[in-house]
Chains A and B, each alone.
Chain A
């Protein structure tokens, strides 16, 4: 507890609210949170255990912004842990923490991939888990689940019902393959059985 207050004082951010619970949570502001995280590392939170994002679009309560990014910091010496929560508006880039903890590199790529929150100055801001040509960010609450076709770039899509029909063998499905030859035999031009031999010589 005391180390957390020291970090807050050092960063000059004493007004940050601390939510008491099983794990203490600090709600930080978007423009100053990085300075606070830097001080957190200085007072002993040497390990950034986790970094995750939440989409509050359909939450039953009013939230300050649409997204939140939660930093899960751990003191490797005594197991003390704090959560730092930053609310992020839609389509706003937030500063990366890869220069404080290198482990944030994969975490930030995951948050970008699944929630679409971009991190500025990240060394390698690419998707990490989903296919490269998948359109959209799956963990956003407005990303459809179930019977909606999954969109890929360049107009390709995956239709769930057609996919399932293909698996059950009732329909041709996506590939049109139902076991056996992939080619429809009626479409193959028939070869003449006997080659006519020209008699003119």
Chain B
């Protein structure tokens, strides 16, 4: 008589990272035991809906548990930095918003600030307030995409439709002001391209009046959902020390409890005059990263309201004709204006030799543009400190140890934009 074999006791699935995979030889595998020890290599992407673009992740899995994660990037590398080194400073405003297509105004501002520092341009108050207003509206729209697609990755289809309604309202405002929905190219060195259209303030006000109630609605959609809580709480935990070591910035760092916001610590573009809070997380898990961004939307709306109330009629560009183009009507009466216009369009301005870097707070983290000028009309070297590029490094660190489904949650909660990663 064959002896009845004792069944291997499966460990209880309580702490996911510490599950021990049974190594006993099993009759099911012909006594080889290979079924349990084989590591499967899974290729996620580059064309996968939950990788937010063209991120390719090679995952080593033991059963359903992730052992090693290796992101492969570069599929969207377009050599923006090299191209920008061969264009004039004014032309480069076309390239800036195309890197991070979800937070384009943030990139335009990050590019404008160091150039203004180099040429010594003065930005009028009205232009600064328009800039802050647009950057914050853009931050809201970026976080709305994050929330919609992030929850879509977790299988929740409905929030996607809710958030995109509000995003459309913001994109309508952008279309009214810059003519395009995503890549406006609206900022200029020393101000903005043109004044706001009629009815602009009414559009923004109408949007802001109803927005806070909408955020409450979004929170209701996911914050108490048991499936969402189960999938995000205590997954992808990033401690403060790990986050700093990995150079994480922005909402991902603030979810780990570090109050670093460049709008507060090193204010730029007049952010010191605005009253807003910096939402912080406590655990640094995926749930905190979702919640911090939703709270940030409220703070951004607060800043937008203040910027709208501060918006007074006035100049929108530096009056220095060596930097900003003369108004259209001047070209018909003034020879000087025609000469300036011709010189600016064909050759551009020549900032003095020097280097400049201004850190700004993008929707994804610290965004800065390092410009080396050799005195020519084109930047000698231009380098973008792209927040998504750095934040993606956290994936191999915090994505392992859990279930594969947790890895998808972690990718969604880190909010990488591949245009920003590859540039």
Report A's interface with B, CB cutoff 8 A: 22-23, 25, 46-50, 52, 54-55, 58-61, 70, 72, 74, 76, 78-79, 81, 83, 101-107, 110, 114, 127-131, 138-139, 143, 145
Contact = CB atoms under 8 A, between A and B. Distances in A.
Contacts of A131: 74
Contacts of A50: 368, 370, 383, 385
Contacts of B309: none
B177 to A, nearest CB: 30
Nearest to B372: A54
A133 to B, nearest CB: 12
Interface residues of B, number: 44
B246 interface: yes
A78 B265 contact: yes
B86 interface: yes
A37 B422 CA distance: 27
A157 B151 CA distance: 43
Interface in B185-220: none
A201 to B, nearest CB: 57
B74 A101 contact: no
A49 B359 contact: yes
B48 interface: no
9 contacts: A55-B381, A59-B374, A72-B385, A76-B244, A78-B265, A79-B265, A103-B247, A129-B74, A145-B82
A61 B245 contact: no
Interface string B232-254: 00000000000011111100010
B389 interface: yes
B82 A59 contact: no
A97 B392 CA distance: 19
Contacts of B35: none
B247 A145 contact: no
B172 interface: no
Contact of A103 (B82, B356, B383, B393): B393
Contacts of B343: none
Given A61-B353, A105-B393, 11 more contacts: A50-B368, A52-B385, A58-B380, A60-B353, A60-B375, A70-B370, A81-B266, A106-B389, A110-B389, A128-B73, A129-B74
B385 to A, nearest CB: 4
